[in-house]
């Protein structure tokens, strides 16, 4: 049984991961903006003592501290951190003055949010010799396609940050994994019509990958898992 923090659990990949890990008997602390979004669902904390829900904003460091302290007080410790929260903007290289705010939002949410939260929980992770940090990146954090300059830059930076997390945590038994999917059947891909939704990677399949990683020993944890539902040339 693990004591797990998950960001971005209110929908999509994060929600599927939370549902799967709860079934497997873990204790879940879910950081979300709307703390009532799980009312009368399988992730409702009122119906399961293994679930904690706390308000969390990736751009608010105070919300991170409250969430982490709340989790430690309830579960006693934290041994797993899963970063799923992220935003998407179609910010081009030659962005307009009106779009400049998008770069800041991408940077603060996709990079600085995971960075600050990891720093906040790092001391707890070091107490356990088999802690895990799993971060949902994107294939956009490994290569640049089209003209998504802002989003791609934020994801490349996040990938670099995770490489340093791996270096920093290795001797303490903290193992870091990045998961880099292409098209996933979530709200972010709702307007994509170049591939049928049924042929995209499904959130529940990524949840299965995460569940498998958490069962592996320190000696065979992959750092980066790339997932593609279509052939890239």
Query: pLDDT tens across 196-227, in order?
Result: 899 999 999 999 999 999 999 999 999 999 99
Q: What are 70-91's pLDDT values in tens digits?
A: 999 999 999 999 999 999 999 9
Give the architecture (CATH level 2) of 3-227: 3-Layer(aba) Sandwich (3.40)
d(CA 217, CA 131): 10
Residue 101 designated active-site: no
The mean per-residue pLDDT over the stretch 160-186 comes to 96
Q: How confident is the model at residue 195 (pLDDT cuts 50, 70, 90)?
A: confident
Burial 86-116 (b: 16+ CB within 10 A, else e): bbbbebeeebeeeeeebbebbbbbbbbbbbb
Q: How far is CA 39 from the centre of its chain?
A: 22
Question: What is the model's pLDDT at position 191?
Answer: 77
Whether 1 shows a pLDDT value over 90: the answer reads yes
- Helix 61-75 crosses helix 113-126 at what angle (to 10 degrees)? 30
Position of tokens 């799993």?
Answer: 134
Backbone angles phi, psi at 152, to 5 degrees: -60, -45
Q: What are 110-131's pLDDT values in tens digits?
A: 999 999 999 999 999 999 999 9
């Amino acid at each position: 049984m693990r004591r797990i923090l998950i960001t971005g659990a209110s929908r999509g990949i994060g929600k599927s991961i939370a549902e799967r890990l709860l079934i497997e008997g873990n204790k879940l602390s879910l950081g979300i903006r709307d703390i009532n979004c799980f009312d009368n669902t399988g992730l409702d904390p009122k119906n399961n003592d293994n679930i904690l829900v706390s308000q969390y904003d990736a751009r608010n460091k105070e919300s991170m501290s409250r969430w982490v302290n709340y989790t430690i007080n309830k579960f006693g410790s934290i041994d797993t951190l899963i970063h799923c929260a992220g935003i998407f903007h179609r910010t081009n290289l030659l962005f307009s003055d009106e779009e400049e705010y998008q770069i800041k939002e991408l940077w603060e949410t996709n990079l600085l949010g995971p960075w600050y939260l990891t720093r906040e929980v790092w001391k707890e992770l070091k107490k356990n010799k088999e802690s895990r940090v799993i971060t949902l990146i994107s294939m956009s954090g490994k290569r640049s396609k089209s003209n998504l300059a802002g989003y791609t830059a934020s994801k490349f930076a996040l990938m670099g940050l995770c490489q340093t997390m791996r270096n920093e945590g290795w001797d303490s038994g903290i193992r870091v994994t990045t998961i880099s999917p292409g098209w996933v059947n979530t709200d972010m891909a709702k307007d994509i019509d170049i591939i049928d939704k049924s042929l995209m990677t499904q959130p529940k399949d990524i949840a299965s990958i995460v569940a498998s990683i958490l069962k592996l020993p320190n000696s065979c944890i992959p750092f980066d898992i790339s997932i593609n539902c279509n052939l890239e040339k």
